[in-house]
């Protein structure tokens, strides 16, 4: 398979299983999808059909369902991913993001930078766990795993 075909051209969220959020939450989700589509390496492992691909995400019984179809919308494969291994790192990520946004208002630049380094570290950890969980199912690079982890976090964000 060519590298140009190993990519996503569309990501949709199942409205029946993924709660709609506030306008701010919906904006975060849209930005995460935009960033993912802008640049990615994504293909089902051992794909028999050439990409590019479409990804429909839904949540069912604490599992994230990756329904992958080809460019024309014909189903290719679906993978179920338990969200349990990601729960702690998502929670940690939200906590450190809260600290970061609070620090921006009052902390010294050195403190903000230290918190941001921690935030990036937790984000990298979540991306690594996600990539490990998808290994043998979906082929993606590090940057795509990071963007996909961002989207998964945006799916869990409730907002205020």
Q: Which residues pair with 78 in a beta bridge?
A: 67
pTM tops 0.75, yes or no: yes
What is the spatial distance between Cα 158 and Cα 56, in angstroms, rounded to a whole number? 21
Put residue 159 in one of left, alpha, beta given phi > 0 → left and psi -120 to 50 → alpha.
Answer: left
DSSP-derived secondary structure letter, 50: -
Structure tokens belonging to residue 60: 């069912």
User: Diameter of the chain by CA atoms?
Assistant: 54
Q: Give the pLDDT score at 44.
A: 94
The sign of the dihedral angle between the CA atoms of 144, 149, 154, 155 is: positive
- Token readout for 53 is 């691909």
Enter the DSSP assignment of 73.
S
Q: What is the pLDDT along the chain (160 residues), one digit of tens a residue?
A: 445 689 999 999 988 888 887 787 788 889 999 999 999 999 999 877 788 999 999 988 889 999 999 999 999 999 999 999 999 999 998 888 888 888 888 999 999 999 989 989 999 999 999 999 999 999 999 999 999 998 988 887 655 4
Under DSSP, the state recorded for 19 is: -
Distance CA 104, CA 100 (A): 6
Cα separation, 16 vs 83, whole angstroms: 18
Residue 45 tokens read as 């492992």
């Amino acid at each position: 398979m060519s590298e140009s075909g190993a990519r996503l051209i569309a990501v949709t969220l199942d409205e029946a299983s993924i709660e709609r959020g506030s306008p701010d939450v919906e904006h975060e989700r849209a930005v995460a999808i935009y960033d993912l589509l802008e640049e990615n390496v994504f293909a089902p492992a051992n794909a028999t059909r050439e990409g590019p691909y479409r990804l429909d995400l839904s949540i069912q019984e604490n599992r994230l369902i990756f329904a992958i179809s080809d460019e024309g919308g014909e189903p290719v494969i679906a993978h179920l991913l338990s969200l349990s291994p990601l729960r702690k790192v998502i929670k940690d990520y939200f906590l450190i993001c809260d600290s970061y946004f609070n620090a921006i208002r009052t902390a010294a630049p050195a403190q903000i930078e230290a918190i941001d380094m921690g935030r990036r570290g937790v984000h990298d950890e979540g991306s690594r766990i996600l990539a490990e969980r998808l290994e043998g199912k979906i082929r993606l690079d590090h940057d795509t795993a990071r963007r996909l982890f961002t989207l998964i976090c945006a799916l869990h964000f409730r907002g205020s």
